[in-house]
Structure 1
Amino acid sequence: MKLCLTLLFSAFLAGLIYAQENWPRFRGVDGRGVSEAKLPEEIGKQNLRWSVPLPGPGSSSPVIWGDALFVTGEDRKKGKVSLTCLDAMSGKKRWAKSLDVGGYHLHRFNNTAAASPAVNEDMVVVCWYSAKKESAMMSAYDHEGNRLWVHEIGSGKTQHGLNIQPEIHGDKILVCHLHMNVGYVGAVGVKDGKSIWKTEFPGGKTSYVTPLVRELPDGGKEVVVASQSIGVVGLDLKDGKVRWEVPGSMKQRTIVSPINVLAGSNSKDVQIAVGCKSGVYFTVRPPVKAGGEAKIVWRMKGNTPYVPTPVSDGKMFYSVSDGGVLVALDASSGEKKWEEKLMANFYASPLIVGGRLICLSREGELIVAEIGASYKEISRNSLELGEAIEWSDVTPAVAHDRLYVRIGARLDCFGEK
């Protein structure tokens, strides 16, 4: 009995250390946007550890593995995107690799370095678009900057430009390639970059979601994605076969990524939250077995998010609308508890770090607040965008008890000195 408890504690501790030292994808471990890191109560100039220039601006979030931080940046005039590796502790540049993207149509708020990379203990992968090949691509490098392989994802027509954010899970890399004329969700092998499976779907409004991988009761795993053309779908991680779906549930473009709002609680229940433009946001309870019926549990009414993905600690769910209305709901029932007008605009997703809410506004204000039964703002500091930067739209990263905030072509690191 004593040995079992020791092993359980060791596993728990290992998981905690993993989460504190790594931020492997957009919004961190499992895409939850939650960390137990210890940050200063007030985050601003007084606890800026370092600030370094990047090779170019972009809206991709940094990803971190141990002491290695990876981030992309664009040189729009030269048609280049750089993947840069920095020392996460000092900000010193280790290496940078250039990708030939060329020129192509983009929404004015989009850019060629919009897709966040993904990283594991062996490699970092980044998705980009080749104007020459007219195809989405994915490149893999080891942590020393050696190129491992390049995978051609395929062509796709978009209205606002490409943004495919991969998820590395075990021996597979998941990509959501759902666009106006073609669509598929696929798995690529981490070792060779070759396709393992590809599940095709009809074209529709482009989806910008990052896939969610979740564990099943029988020990298997599934991939959850959402788009206007397919609604919400759960796929078997092993072979890509559809396990369940909620068709016709998305009316417009999907940007917010799927999250399990009950993750972090002791509940065995699962509710996957998804949404799209035009006021649609709800949770789905997936069936236990493939082929079963997925049921919608609750829906948000008003102030739904379009770009920022909400965050949940498993008990309370927090959503920031693009226009700055923060809404707190009971994660299980969807019952509204309170709301707060933050008097700012948001594209970056909120995070919960050490039990506190962290929000970065488009205007460059970093907000730290106590949450739970009510909202209590602790600090609100301007990060000074600079003349060349119009908005701050990048979701921060967290590791090593530090907050990494990308502002255009600059990366700031905050933490206790």
Structure 2
Amino acid sequence: MQFLPVVQRIVADRWPWPRSFPRSLSMVRSLVLGVMSLFGSVAVAADWPGFRGTGDSVATGQYPTKWTATEGIAWTVNLPGYGQSAPVIWGGTVYVTAVDGAQREKGFVLALDAKTGKEQWRHALEPTQKAKWSETVSRAAPTPCADADGVYCFFEGGNLLALTHAGKVRWERSLVRDYGEFQGGHGVGSSPAQTADTLFILIDDRGPSYLLAVEKQTGKTRWKTDREARGGWSSPVVATRNGKPEIIASSAGTIIGYAADSGKPLWKLDNVVGNTIPSASVSGDRILFGGGTSRSKDAPPMGAKGNGCLRLIDADGKPGYESVWSAKLGISNYATPLAYQQVAYFVNQVGIVTAHDLQSGQELFAERIDGPCWASMIGAGDYVYFFGKDGTTSVLKAGKEFEQIASNPLWAAKSKPKSAGNESRPGAGSEYGAGETVYGVAAADGAFFVRTGTRLFRIGQ
């Protein structure tokens, strides 16, 4: 979810093998087929196809660990308008969204060459639901999805559309026209999740709230499951159970698992405190969830949970879950938790990183990094990257002990740019940065793509 300035003012993973490694060829085949069913056009190491990549925020390959405002930044591009979504990458192209206008009257989808930053095409649209933007109202917050057929974009104005990789519109619809206006008061921050043939969109607000499944090829609704009207900005994520996809929604006090083919609720965890912003994170059969502390003056309900780990199980032949452990120290105020190399990472609103053993929940360390993170952490190689909202990335050695190896600034000076045009040039990050916020990150082909409200950076040559 790349919608953190909104909620900051409202509230102060790879898939490792399960513990019992499959011992029969049939079980291995079932596992492989299950993974293929999730992403029919399988993403490779040079792709980052959605929010947190494939939903676990883990990148394959080696990535840079040190850079400065003048070294290690391949290019910087000024974007039109403003946006809080993360970039996505497919086939050497970076896709990013933005909106412009006092009432968010214009929406944009941009395609950029990942190597050079050169704009390949731009699609403009008129959002259905207008709203005056402010520091507490979202602006192009949902992150797109991409696959071999193109890119799928959702805007908080209700527009949902599919474009080819050449920028041609395949289909477009308005969820606002179909199901009613969004009534969250602060916009929509939820990003779509995807399987090979379906998009999944979560709308949680004071008005009509639902989880929606949409056919990728046609844009038609497969199913729609209504939810209790609450406020939430988290995104759904796809898990796998017995080779079949399952949609996990951690939002607004509950965590619910839904059957991907029907929208039927399979299981539900109540009394989750503060999970309005961080999404669930999947690592094999483990589900990490996070949330801030309760804002209520009243004591949280008996048995309330805020941050912890669940495990998907089958009980009496029915899909369910069990609570594996609860984090006593770890808190995720904004960024989604990360499972990486058997360690669960949480980061809170003041930049305290807490690590727990993924299997047991044992507390490993709680240490301060350079600052709070609104973008999601990324695990890559031997390191975990925390992209601070103020432009400094803290790099930790992955493992059960705290070891910070680098603090990398994305910009140094505090002056505003001389030109507001859309341009790409090395070293542009050294010219300005006053008031900028890092919202979202993608990782592909050994490079990080970091998005602020108005700019996109490529870190790594």
For Structure 1 versus Structure 2, the TM-score category normalised by the shorter chain is: 0.7 to 0.9
| Deviation by residue 1:45-102 (Cα, 9 ceiling, x = unmatched) | 3221111211233111000001111001222336212110001111110011112236
CA distance in 1, matches of 2:400, 2:249: 31
Deviation track 1:223-247 (CA, whole Å, cap 9, x = no partner) reads 1102226x1111111111111111x
* Structure 2 CA distance for partners of 1:332 and 1:122, relative to 1, 3 Å: same
Aligned: 1:215 with 2:240: yes
Moved over 3 A (4+): 289-293, 385-389
Q: Considering only aligned residues, what root-mean-square deviation do their CA atoms show, in Å?
A: 2.5
Corresponding position: 1:257 with 2:279: yes
Matched residue type, 1:276: G
Q: Which amino acid aligns with 1:116?
A: T
Among 384, 397, 403, the alignment partner of 2:442 is 397
For 1:24, which of 49, 52, 55 is the aligned residue? 49
Task: Give the one of 154, 160, 167 matched to 1:145.
Answer: 167
Structure 1 position 275 matched with structure 2 position 259:
no
Structure 2: gaps spanning 5 or more residues: 1-24, 295-305, 417-432
Q: Structure 1, unaligned stretches of length 5 or more? A: 131-135, 264-269
Q: Could you tell me which residue of structure 1 aligns to residue 264 of structure 2? A: 241
Matched, 1:328 2:355: yes
Structure 2 equivalent of residue 267 of structure 1: none
2:176 maps to 1:161: no
Q: In the alignment, is the contact (CA less than 8 A) between 1:106 and 1:161 conserved in 2?
A: no
Corresponding residue number in structure 2 for 1:54: 79
Q: Note closer, same or farther for the CA distance 1:76–1:323 as it changes in structure 2 (3 Å cut).
A: farther
Where does 1:365-376 land on structure 2 (aligned, <5 Å)?
365-376=392-403
- Assess, with a 3 A threshold, how the Cα gap between structure 1 residues 138 and 161 changes in structure 2: closer, same or farther: same
- Report the equivalent of 2:378: 351
Letter in 2 for 1:369: L
**Cα offset for 1:288?**
1.7
Contact 2:251 2:276 (C-alpha < 8 Å) held by counterparts: yes
CA contact (8 A) 2:371 2:388 kept: yes
Please name the residue that 1:266 is paired with.
Answer: none
Please report how far the alpha carbon of residue 105 of structure 1 lies from its aligned counterpart in structure 2 after TM superposition: 4.8
CA distance in 1, matches of 2:321, 2:60: 32
Amino acid at match of 1:144: A
In the alignment, the residues of structure 2 paired with residue 59 and residue 110 of structure 1 have an alpha-carbon distance, to the nearest angstrom, of 11
**Are 1:85 and 1:93, in contact at CA under 8 Å, matched by a contact in 2?**
yes
Which of the numbers 129, 135, 139 marks the counterpart of 1:108? 135
State the TM-score, normalizing by the size of structure 2. Answer: 0.79
Check 1:202–1:106 CA distance in 2 against 1; reply closer, same or farther (3 A cut).
farther
Asked if 2 retains the 8 angstrom alpha-carbon contact of 1:117 and 1:125, the reply is yes
Match of residue 111 from structure 2:
85
Q: Does 1:72 align with 2:97?
A: yes
Amino acid at match of 1:235: Y
Residue 275 of structure 2 contacts residue 290 of structure 2 at CA under 8 Å; is this kept in 1? no
Q: Report the alpha carbon displacement of residue 179 of structure 1 after superposing the two structures with TM.
A: 1.5
State which drifts further: 148-157 or 90-99: 148-157
Task: Give the number of equivalent residue pairs.
Answer: 390
* Equivalent position SS for 1:288: strand
Amino acid at match of 1:237: A
Superimposed CA distance per residue, residues 116-166 of structure 1 (whole angstroms, 9 cap, x where no aligned partner) = 111111121111133xxxxx2211111111011112223221032112311
Q: CA deviation at 1:292?
A: 5.0
Q: Give the aligned partner of residue 34 of structure 1.
A: 58
TM-score, normalized by length of structure 1? 0.87
- My pick for the range that moved more, 19-28 or 292-301, is 292-301
Contact kept in structure 2, 1:79 and 1:100, CA below 8 Å: yes
Partner deviation per Cα, 1:1-26 (whole Å, 9 max, x = no partner): xxx9xx99xx99x99x9441110011
Distance change >3 Å, CA 302–CA 233, structure 1 → 2: same
| 2-structure distance, mates of 1:129, 1:406 | 18
**Partners of 2:280 and 2:337 within 8 A in 1:** no
Task: Say whether the 8 Å CA contact 1:76–1:112 is kept in structure 2.
Answer: no
Distance 1:329 1:107 in 2: 37
Is 1:94 matched up with 2:109? Answer: no
* Distance in structure 2 (CA, Å) of the matches to 1:64 and 1:394: 16
Aligned position for 1:127: 154
Residue 171 of structure 1: how far off its partner (Å): 1.1
CA contact under 8 A between 2:203 and 2:211: conserved in structure 1?
Answer: yes
Residues 314, 288 of structure 1: CA spacing in aligned structure 2 closer, same or farther, 3 A cutoff?
Answer: farther
- Matches of 1:89 and 1:241 in 2, distance apart? 43
Paired residue secondary structure (1:348)? coil
Matched, 1:340 2:367: yes
CA distance in 2, matches of 1:216, 1:146: 36
Q: What's the secondary structure of 1:286's corresponding residue?
A: strand
Which residue of structure 1 lines up, in the alignment, with residue 248 of structure 2? 224
Greater RCO between the two (CA within 8 Å, min separation 6)?
2
Task: Evaluate the alpha carbon distance shift between residue 386 and residue 177 of structure 1 in structure 2; reply closer, same or farther with a 3 A threshold.
Answer: farther
Q: How many Å apart are 1:386 and its aligned residue?
A: 5.3
Distance 1:360 1:184 in 2: 31
